[in-house]
Amino acid sequence: MMTAEQIKKEIEGIFDEVAAMRRHLHMYPELSNEEQKTMEYISEKLTEMCIENVTNVGGHGVVAVIGNPEKGKTIGIRADIDALPIEEMNDFEYKSTVPGVMHACGHDLHTATLLGAAKIFKAHEGEMNGAVKLFFQPAEEKGGGAKYMIADGYMKNPDVSNMLGYHIVPDKPVGLLEFARKQSNASSSGVKVRIYGQSAHGSTPQNGVDAVVVAAQVINNLQTVVSRMVAPTDPAVLTFGTIHGGSKSNIIADFVELDGTIRTYSLKVRDQIREKASMIVNSTAAASGARAEITFGDGYPPIINDPQTVDKMVALAEETLGKDSYVMRDVPTMGGEDFSFFANEVPSCYFKVGTTDGSSSHRQKLHNEWLAPSENAMKNAILMEVMGAQRLMEE
């Protein structure tokens, strides 16, 4: 059985290698469903560790098993591997080399952490009273890669009994752990609205149906969904992040498209918002002589942690890192995460790890072109993945 002090020493011993892997991943980011080179790099590193792995899982994912499934439970650990369509503004030597693409959500740290954990697991494979199954998951940002890894059958043979996963939180100090005993994240799903009007010259608006004006009315009217059609005790967000339409300043636009997101703590409230939004969009467009279409993406369900699994991880953090090493989150974040698909399958713990080292505030935001998390945060993340999996497989 590996002790915490032993693992801490081993983490220090491999940390330069882990940081180097993280920097390589940061330099060569790939978008959701395009992670071919990332997949190949992960497989190459696992092979160098003498760990057999399977690629092209759920698209561009990688799965590997370490340990002895016949001796005990198999614990799954997930790291997402995709990047975002953001132009990096940092100027350090390992900044993104891919124009318009950046690891602005910390998935490079998640992946390097799991590679580091894999190295430690492999070194102790003969001692393990069970196994770990490593999930390097594609398409978290767009596409729900977790769902497709599950559909490919990789929660089976050996069957995963519990899942662990983590995410960086740039507004918390380096290495500080954050746990949510039950619900961690909201559900999230996309919403797209298309307005079809009729074009005309800008000087004769009476001859057309202005899709821009209709779109403005739709956006304003949709504000009443959350404020007046959902109970104030049910937190919800309906946001439109993009609006595109029109071709020239003196032409009445005949088409506008809105793209947004719905965030709720429950699928029931999400479905309620969808129903009300559809009613408002169609009636608003019809009142102006336009036609509308509203469509919804499948999205991600909320992450519901297993309280018993969380309690074990919290106890482990207190024993190995001290009482001040973690905080408990009472209110779920409105952020969406497709780890929820894993958590729907087996008892799970999705936790957070702080990464701020006190540098300028604009570097402490996710999905930001300046994001620069401290690599030292990976030390506590590796420790929790290794010790957490060990404890869960033996209990």
Catalytic residues, by residue number, are 82, 140
State the DSSP H helix or E strand holding residue 348, giving kind and residue range, or none if neither: strand 348-356
Q: 182 exposed, middle or buried (CB, 10 Å; 0-12, 13-18, 19+)? A: exposed
CB 245 within 8 A of CB 237: no
Nearest of 371, 363, 341 to residue 61 by alpha carbon: 341
- What are the angstrom distances between the C-alpha of 143 and each of 33, 298, 363? 8, 9, 27
Q: DSSP secondary structure string, 199-215?
A: -EETT-GGGSB-HHHHH
- State whether residue 384 is helix, strand or coil: helix
Instruction: Give the C-alpha separation, 8 to 321, whole Å.
Output: 10
- What are the angstrom distances between the C-alpha of 150 and each of 55, 78, 351? 14, 12, 21
Q: DSSP secondary structure string, 248-316?
A: -TTEE-SEEEEEEEEEESSHHHHHHHHHHHHHHHHHHHHHTT-EEEEEE---BPPEE--HHHHHHHHHH
Helix (DSSP H) and strand (DSSP E) numbers for the chain: 9, 16
- What are the angstrom distances between the C-alpha of 287 and each of 20, 211, 337? 59, 12, 37
CB 377 within 8 A of CB 178: no
Instruction: Give the C-alpha separation, 303 to 279, whole Å.
Output: 29
